[in-house]
Structure 1
Amino acid sequence: MSRQPTSRVLDKGLWGMSAPMLVDQAVTFTIPLTDMFFLSRVSDSAAAAVGAVSPLVFAGNTLLMVTAFAGSSIASQRIGANRYDLATATMMAYVLLITGLALLTALAINIGGVFVAGWMPLSAVVEQHAVAYLGVIGWMVALWGLRAAFQTILNVYGEPKWNTASNFVFFAANIIGNSIVVFGLFGVPPLGVIGVAWASVAAIGCSLFFTVAIVHWKLGLRLPLRRGLAEFPSLIRPVVRIAAPASLEPVSFNMYMIALNWIVAGVGDLALKVKVYTFNTFLFCLMISVALSMATEVIIAQRVGRNELDEADRQMRQSVKVALWGTGLLALFWVIFYRPVLGIYTDDPAILALGFWVFVLAFLSEPARTVNIVMGGALRSTGDAAFISYSTIAVIWLFSVPLAYVLTITLAWGIYGVLAAAVVDESVRAVIKWWRWRRGHWREYGVAAREAREARRRDMKSEV
């Protein structure tokens, strides 16, 4: 039997894990900016179209990534308890689950996305670009989800540096592909929006191949396919217990983004263009909070697996503080240099005129969004996912969407109304997550604690 690798997560700690993840996320969140640049070379309408429907793509990505992170949190807890054979079997099970979900997600976006674009109040030109993009991009989402499964395995074993390399492969392939299809290099005719979509599919395919190769040949990990299939229901049950409720929150949030884009599109194409350019710029701020959240999830999961609950609490608080400083400074940078940033995409004076206050409102939402990302990930990694997901859905659809409509349409605040509503939405959800963590319910949701309770119940029944 070949020697299986061991995890180095706790040896590396927050800085050792998050530093390569930060570079990884910097590359990841540069990709929407570069895509937006190439789309703006086609036209502002093309960029607005893709931006308007991109939350649907993000929702598909999020569903698959949350499932992968749920699986990795269970695997991490198994490793924390020094049960490596069970951890690798869990990895095999969630790779199989994500493979099936990836295919369904791709078909849903490629086919169902057209109906979403038709439902939104887009102009004829913008809708045409959106439909063309959605007809292809689902396959990129599927491959992205498969890559996420293998990337979480590298994180679990304390080797996030290879995910950075994988994203560099994706970034380079994406730049080359987009340059060819947008500018018509090497005799290829310019293919517009549909070419950008196929370039993304090809780029993520290259990155997926690289990541799988690293897991199997460089890391030397052998995933037990037979055991994964034979014990699939029991292995995947604790994963689904986290993934099912946990996926509801981010998927609901991306549907919320679709609703906001629907409201903004009702104001007009100009408001939609400004919103899309601003949103994609501030996505780059997420690189810090997401990197720290990913590192924190793995560390806390292993701490919980070891029953080191006070250390897990201290880790979460440290991660939130560091993330707040990092995202705050980066968001402030965007506000100060808003005009040259928007100038990368467009020279439309109407867009540039709206830019400053739009960027200021986006800046104000960053602290709360950072808390939501880091604390939400920490709660999910412990298994305490259901309450957060259900409360988030309630806040978004019962409060935030109506507030956005009232401010934007009823009170005629336009684009400023949507962004003001986003500030309130993020703040309310951040307070709920902080309150939930302080309550300490997460201490009882670890897979080992849950299995111990179930074992005690079985013993009590057998005694009776």
Structure 2
Amino acid sequence: MKSSTKKITLFALTWPIFIEISLHMLMGNADTLMLSQYSDDSVAAVGISNQILALIIVMFGFVATGTSILVAQYLGAGKQKSAAEIAVVSIAANLLFSLILSILLFIFDDRILLLMDLPPELLPEATIYLQVVGGLSFIQAVIMTLGAVLRSYSFTKDAMYVTLGMNIVNVLGNYIVIFGAFGFPVLGVEGVAYSTAISRFLGLIVLFILLIKRLDGGLPFLSLFKLPLAHLKNLLKIGIPSAGEQLSYNASQLVITAFIASLGTEAITTRVYTLNIMMFIFLFAISIGQGSQILIGHMVGAGKIEEAYKRGIKSLKIAIYISFGMAVLFSIFSETLLGIFTANEDILFLGSVLIYLTIILEPGRSFNLVMINSLRAAGDVKFPVYIGILSMWGVAVLFAYLLGIVFGLGLIGIWIAFILDEWLRGILMLRRWRSRIWIQKKFTQV
């Protein structure tokens, strides 16, 4: 296929990924910003629901992660047929798995929310949002898989354009259902949920068409049941440990969110607004990490080990410099940025303090986002999981409870716990990369 042979660079891969992730974040920010004109309680309700959905989406992502790494390694090794077969197996596997999870989420929505110690006034809106967006979350699972395939074939712009279109549809839908435009009834959170689901469904259709169009030889969908089980085995071998690290992170965040919920609705709202701003700081490291993963996957598949090693170190330095600079810039304008969402003085003050703390937090997060993606691309997927579980629970959750709840530091104490966790894991990931143990772990040799 033509995509497997074209020359790719980190910049060429990263800028569309950067814009795509920005647009995904803008979609969440659009919901928050537009709902903030409707009700702060609605913002908190959607924020809690999205915390649960983030955990579910990570569970969908284990197949997408394995897909991205395996397709990149096989293309780097010149095994186009195996790359196409992996793509088909991953799409089918993630569709089946996500359908099961979506049904469970729809059935047990209220019981899940009650486990979060949610304030009673938030429960009705959080439930309807979780029912609609969570019940249809299998759409997002397939979108993630299709996007992973396209990006591994270096068609990063396609995923970016589709995300742009999804954002436009989502914002227009939000405008109609929140403000009652064109005589439409005001639906609030329920309307935002429908708008999100519709925009994702349209994005799914367009991505599938693009996938068929871009890959010259097409994908062997008709021979799905004849494809070797080894492909599924390799997908799970990479995907399950990779998802384990992300699953542990999101599960720990879910527990910490329950700590924050115990502090009251204002604390939840402050966290939601602050994270919406912080996302635009660490998206640079996310996009650099994902672009590096594709490049390193191709290099490892082609046997270019020294190039892969240098690429990982260089990407890390770039991510640290940019993240630190953006954290400083956003801190300077923190109150102005938070003022876009709310006029509450307490939220503005506390949110600003949290954004100042990101100057220390974000360089540590960059270590994780770049180094973990680099290790995964080389097939070294278990080590980040082991370290992640120990640090996320033994440092982030433990110290969030001690500093935030026991010692009464609230959100500031919880942010300090985040800093300790990110830096500890980041330094250990860098040491692992420098050890070069990952050289023996690529999957195309299996």
Instruction: Name which of structure 1's ranges 211-220 and 370-379 shifts more when overlaid on structure 2.
Output: 211-220
Counterpart-to-counterpart distance in 2, 1:276 and 1:89: 40
Who is 1:462 aligned against?
none
Q: Does 1:200 align with 2:193?
A: no
Q: 1:199 deviation in Å?
A: 0.6
Who is 2:137 aligned against?
141
Who is 2:241 aligned against?
245
Q: 1:54 deviation in Å?
A: 1.7
Q: Does 1:7 align with 2:26?
A: no
Who is 2:291 aligned against?
295
- In structure 2, list runs of 5 or more residues that go unmatched: none
Q: Does 1:347 align with 2:343?
A: yes
Counterpart-to-counterpart distance in 2, 1:440 and 1:191: 55
Who is 1:312 aligned against?
308
Q: 1:63 deviation in Å?
A: 2.4
Q: 1:341 deviation in Å?
A: 1.0
Who is 2:177 aligned against?
181
Counterpart-to-counterpart distance in 2, 1:314 and 1:260: 36
Counterpart-to-counterpart distance in 1, 2:349 and 2:299: 50
One of 159, 184, 194 as aligned partner of 1:163: 159
SS at match of 1:344: coil
Checking the alignment, whether the CA contact within 8 Å between 1:50 and 1:133 is kept in structure 2 is yes
Q: State TM-score, norm by structure 1.
A: 0.92
Counterpart-to-counterpart distance in 1, 2:293 and 2:46: 31
Q: Does 1:273 align with 2:269?
A: yes
Q: Deviations over 1:295-327 (max 9, x none)?
A: 111111111111111000011111111111222
Who is 2:41 aligned against?
45
Checking the alignment, whether the CA contact within 8 Å between 2:70 and 2:444 is kept in structure 1 is no
Checking the alignment, whether the CA contact within 8 Å between 2:4 and 2:80 is kept in structure 1 is no
Q: 1:285 deviation in Å?
A: 2.1
Checking the alignment, whether the CA contact within 8 Å between 1:109 and 1:137 is kept in structure 2 is no
Q: Deviations over 1:127-166 (max 9, x none)?
A: 2222221111114532122111111221122111111101
Who is 2:186 aligned against?
190
Who is 1:33 aligned against?
29
Counterpart-to-counterpart distance in 1, 2:110 and 2:217: 40
Q: Which runs of 4+ in 1 moved over 4 A?
A: none
> Aligned AA for 1:97?
A
Instruction: Name which of structure 1's ranges 265-274 and 91-100 shifts more when overlaid on structure 2.
Output: 265-274
Q: 1:221 deviation in Å?
A: 4.8
Counterpart-to-counterpart distance in 2, 1:391 and 1:112: 32
In 2 relative to 1, CA 302–218 (structure 1 residues): closer, same or farther, beyond 3 Å?
A: closer
Checking the alignment, whether the CA contact within 8 Å between 1:8 and 1:158 is kept in structure 2 is no
> Aligned AA for 1:200?
T
Who is 1:441 aligned against?
437
Counterpart-to-counterpart distance in 2, 1:227 and 1:89: 9
Checking the alignment, whether the CA contact within 8 Å between 1:21 and 1:164 is kept in structure 2 is yes
Who is 1:125 aligned against?
121
Checking the alignment, whether the CA contact within 8 Å between 2:284 and 2:322 is kept in structure 1 is yes
Counterpart-to-counterpart distance in 1, 2:19 and 2:130: 29
Who is 1:364 aligned against?
360
> Aligned AA for 1:72?
S
Checking the alignment, whether the CA contact within 8 Å between 1:303 and 1:309 is kept in structure 2 is yes
Counterpart-to-counterpart distance in 2, 1:201 and 1:45: 21
SS at match of 2:262: helix
Counterpart-to-counterpart distance in 1, 2:358 and 2:117: 24
Q: Deviations over 1:396-450 (max 9, x none)?
A: 223321111010111111111111111111111112211221221211110134x
Counterpart-to-counterpart distance in 1, 2:282 and 2:216: 32
Note the 1:411-426 alignment, pairs <5 A.
411-426=407-422
Checking the alignment, whether the CA contact within 8 Å between 1:108 and 1:138 is kept in structure 2 is no
Question: RMSD over aligned Cα, in angstroms?
Answer: 1.6
Who is 1:403 aligned against?
399
In 2 relative to 1, CA 140–39 (structure 1 residues): closer, same or farther, beyond 3 Å?
A: farther
Checking the alignment, whether the CA contact within 8 Å between 1:57 and 1:109 is kept in structure 2 is no
**Aligned sequence identity (%):** 25
Q: 1:232 deviation in Å?
A: 4.7
Instruction: Name which of structure 1's ranges 241-250 and 35-44 shifts more when overlaid on structure 2.
Output: 35-44
SS at match of 2:392: helix
Q: 1:177 deviation in Å?
A: 0.8
Counterpart-to-counterpart distance in 2, 1:386 and 1:129: 39
Note the 1:86-105 alignment, pairs <5 A.
86-105=82-101
One of 250, 255, 267 as aligned partner of 1:254: 250
Q: State TM-score, norm by structure 2.
A: 0.96
Counterpart-to-counterpart distance in 2, 1:108 and 1:282: 31
Checking the alignment, whether the CA contact within 8 Å between 1:8 and 1:157 is kept in structure 2 is no
Counterpart-to-counterpart distance in 2, 1:372 and 1:73: 17
One of 65, 69, 85 as aligned partner of 1:69: 65
Instruction: Name which of structure 1's ranges 48-57 and 372-381 shifts more when overlaid on structure 2.
Output: 48-57
- In structure 1, list runs of 5 or more residues that go unmatched: 452-464
